[in-house]
Structure 1
Amino acid sequence: MTMPFTSAFRRSRTRRAGCMATLAVASCALFAGLATATQTVVIGEVEVQSTGDAAYVEAMRAAIVRTTGRRSAATDPAFATLIQDARRYVQIFRPPTGGNPARITLDVVAIERAIAALGQTTWSRERPVVLGVITAAPEGADPGTVRAQLERAAIERGLPLRLSSAAAAGVTPGTVVTPEAALLAARRAGADVALVGAADGAEWQWTLFDGASATVFYGDVAAGVEGAADTLALGSLAAVAQPLGEAEFHVRGVRSLKDYADVQKLLVAMPAIKSADLVATDAEGAWFRVEVSGGAAGLAEALATQPRLKREGGSNSRDYRYGP
């Protein structure tokens, strides 16, 4: 049974100066309005069930989990002083009304600074959007309950999750989903990676397709969300921990403004890449210059996770082929 979810550039030797000037202006205007497959996560808005000072502590624990990308951070002794001082970070307290729980707004910038002062790392608030698809649900499972459990886990972990039915995602229920099909479904849905789940009785198997690998998680209905958050946060932290450097590379197959826009979107959506600029075009494509964690080596690692940019030539080649 399928779960019916509703939400779901180096300069060119053959440079064409006039065309380049026109294209640069046009593409800059186009890029200014682009929406990437990342989403800014709300960290400091927390619903709480506790009352009094316990409510502030509950909110702080939730914010620390979202900020660090680690579920275990809520009980990590490294954050004990931050949790004890939770009240000083409260900006707004909204009492419960009409059956809705109390809501607390925390000073996220101050919390991030405090975490850094403790020598701990934070997960960027700009995070990849995950497409969630279930191809086989437990017999008799209530779709609304399953959806609520997934959405609640995603909120708790600070993971942008977009749920879709298998049919809407273009995959066949009850079949094994290939990485290509999963990533294609993610792109169609405006997501960056795909999380595909199937249940065998009460046991769930979730597979995260991120373009570089397929990671499998076993457990309950929320195991996929928990595993995806762990994996994406760890990958992001590892990427940004490297020193920034510039690197240039060539992309073949870039012909139109839409192609330039698509490549720009793919680049700026990667956690390791801080900026990406078009600097030249030639008869075969375009050159891009990026500011990236780890420089040229970091760029190669980052692009290896993007199936639409395939490296051509040997391991030291700076040529890539753009594909749909």
Structure 2
Amino acid sequence: MRSGPGPRNSITDVAGVLVGHHQVLDPDATLGTGAATGCTVVRVPGGATASVDVRGGGPGTRETDLLDPANSVRQLNAVLLTGGSAYGLAAADGVMRWAEEHREGIPMDPTDPTRVVPIVPGAVIFDLPVGDWHIRPDADFGYRAAAAASTDFARGTAGAGVGAQAGALKGGIGSASVVLGEGPGAGVTVGAVVVANPVGSVVDPRTGLPWGAGTDGPDFFGLRVATPTEIAALAALPTKSTVLNTTIGVVATDAALDPAGCRRLAATAHDGLARAIRPVHSPLDGDTLFALSTGAIEVPPATLPAAFPTDLHLLDQLCTAAAVVVERAVVDAVLAATSVAGIPAYRDLVRPH
């Protein structure tokens, strides 16, 4: 299915995808005081075909209906992933402002290239109790994150992952990629960036390993089975202090897909969340995954019986890879996270090799 991760093992291994953060984090932030929030922008200069799949029972989203394959708009310019609950959706206004200044958006006047309408869907996590409730991302956050977008970006406690909590542990933002090594999609890249803030557990209580390490094995992530003392320390952690949660993210590929193909990619990518988080998609989560295609690689169709669309084999490969990179991105978020507001990080309790 795949030859291995791309050079950065990041969503930005998909050419044309950039990621930027902006956050505020007081060193002495505690539950209820001090700034501890941020946002992340996934930007695609020139636009990308996209769709979305919302599975959680309590989503906080913006312009997701626009991405229904039955609707008219075919591309987006950026995706906002943000803290701040519903308040944080205001950060998308800043992303739109940055995009408008750089003439990124749907052209509205062929005689005036400055007249554009940027398409910036978004989704939020609930992080308000981590730090000061009244400090949350606004339009300035979104503008700064869009301006900072590049191929290299921080993981763990950064951007929208600053205030994230994954079960009893510190959550964060993670990323991963794969390059398909065989079949009709050979050479195609699939990547994901995920903000892990679930109510469910991200660790197997029997081994102390992240659930998502099970598919690839702990050696892939440089881990070992936890000691009995470490397992006991994990088991002794209090339950998550908030009941509102959510894991959000973006999956991207350079293979050319239409909106319906992107919708299928987003739907299957949720399988990666189910492998790495238990339980997932609860009534208290707002789990939302966007999928986008930059269309840089036109893949020749496979030979299939006449009753089936000829691109199904490729789409099957992409969907399998999407679940893999989402699963790995959740593990990456948990392993890269550092403690904030007294919420312990996995690396504080279980040491690597």
Q: Note whether the superposition's TM-score is higher than 0.5.
A: no
TM interval, shorter chain, is under 0.3
RCO higher in structure (CA 8 A, sep ≥6):
2
Which structure has the highest helix share of the two? 1
- Greater Cα radius of gyration, structure 1 or 2: 1
